[in-house]
């Protein structure tokens, strides 16, 4: 915008409609904006390096040192909506830590069942088909075949209270697993509610920032029209340009915050980090 304003001012100066002072002021405004642009470009380079590190990119060849990842998609505001109860249900079903704790709780329940089984008698059955030879008969024809069946029962009446100790330990482990799952479930619910609240706030900010940009663009258009007609000063145009630049920066930040909030919601409810627009 400032480069366009400088070019316009120079053209008007050559046409004799403005003074050299306005050209100098346009040049100063452009020069003042250069440091911010330099910092932004440097931050972009640093962000690319941090992204390469986060992705685990290895520089195995000299050509890979300056290679940059290809960024796809736009940083646009695409609103999505989530219903609270559905989001909570999704989190309970899909969050891996809840699945892990639920599996541990089931294992503890099975351990308690095994520990209690030692208080009951055990019964063993055995059977088979055998060939037997009659006592005192040396002939093979005197042998007999038939089924055999046996049963045995055992009941430990006194084991030094070891069974009671194992049951108490299993009960304690089961209770710990149950409390751990309950605590994690409550923490996940709070996380989901907070993520949805942040998403609602980010949606409002992004929507408001979009409207402000539209208003700032219209204000700049009117300022340029008045300036060309001679009813507005260069300062009016520069002020409108600054307002538009600020509004666009705020929009980029708002869109970024919204995308981060949407990704946080998807993580909270246990879904993959893929943003699906409405």
pLDDT tens track for 175-195: 999 999 999 999 999 999 999
Nearest in space to 84 (alpha carbons), one of 202, 194, 196: 196
Indicate if the pLDDT at residue 20 is higher than 80: no
Higher pLDDT, 213 or 53: 213
| Per-residue confidence band for 229, with pLDDT thresholds at 50, 70 and 90 | confident
Cα–Cα distance for residue pair 174/109, rounded to 1 Å: 6
pLDDT of residue 71 exceeding 60, the answer is yes
CA atoms within 13 A on the CB side of 174: 16
Residue 275's pLDDT band (cuts 50, 70, 90) = very low
Q: Could you give the CA distance from residue 209 to residue 218 in angstroms, rounded to a whole number?
A: 14
In this structure, of 44-53, 245-254, 256-265, the range with the lowest mean pLDDT score is 44-53
Amino acid 277: pLDDT: 43
| pLDDT at residue 110 tops 50 | yes
CA nearest neighbour of 268 among 88, 86, 99: 88
Instruction: Calculate what percentage of the chain has a pLDDT beyond 90.
Output: 31
The pLDDT of residue 136 is above 60: no
pLDDT in tens, 168-179: 888 898 899 999
Q: Where are the alpha helices (DSSP H) in 17-72?
A: 20-54
Domain map (residue ranges) of the chain: 2-96+184-268, 121-154
Per CATH, domain 2-96+184-268 is 1.20.1600.10? yes
- Write down the pLDDT at residue 134: 58
Helix, strand counts (H, E) of the chain? 6, 2
Would the pLDDT of 112 be above 50? yes
274 has pLDDT over 60? no
Query: Which whole number is the average pLDDT over 90-119?
Result: 86
């Amino acid at each position: 915008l400032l480069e366009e304003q400088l070019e316009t001012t120079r053209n008007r100066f050559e046409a004799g409609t403005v003074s050299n002072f306005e050209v100098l002021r346009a040049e100063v405004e452009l020069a003042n904006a250069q440091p911010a642009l330099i910092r932004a470009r440097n931050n972009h380079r640093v962000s690319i390096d941090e992204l390469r590190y986060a992705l685990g990119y290895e520089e195995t060849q000299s050509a890979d040192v300056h290679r940059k990842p290809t960024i796809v998609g736009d940083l646009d505001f695409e609103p999505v909506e989530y219903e609270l109860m559905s989001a909570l249900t999704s989190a309970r079903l899909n969050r891996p830590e809840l699945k892990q704790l639920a599996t541990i709780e089931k294992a503890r329940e099975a351990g308690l069942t095994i520990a209690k089984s030692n208080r009951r008698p055990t019964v063993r059955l055995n059977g088979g088909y055998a060939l037997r030879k009659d006592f005192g008969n040396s002939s093979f024809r005197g042998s007999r075949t038939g089924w055999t069946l046996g049963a045995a029962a055992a009941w430990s009446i006194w084991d030094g209270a070891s069974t009671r100790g194992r049951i108490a330990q299993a009960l304690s482990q089961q209770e710990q697993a149950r409390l751990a799952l309950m605590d994690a479930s409550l923490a996940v619910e709070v996380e989901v509610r907070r993520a949805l609240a942040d998403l609602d706030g980010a949606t409002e900010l992004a929507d408001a920032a979009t409207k402000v940009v539209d208003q700032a663009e219209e204000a700049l258009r009117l300022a340029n029209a008045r300036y060309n007609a001679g009813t507005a000063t260069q300062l009016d145009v520069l002020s409108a340009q600054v307002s538009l630049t600020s509004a666009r920066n705020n929009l980029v930040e708002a869109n970024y915050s919204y995308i981060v909030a949407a990704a946080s919601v998807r993580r909270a409810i246990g879904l993959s980090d893929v943003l699906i627009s409405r």
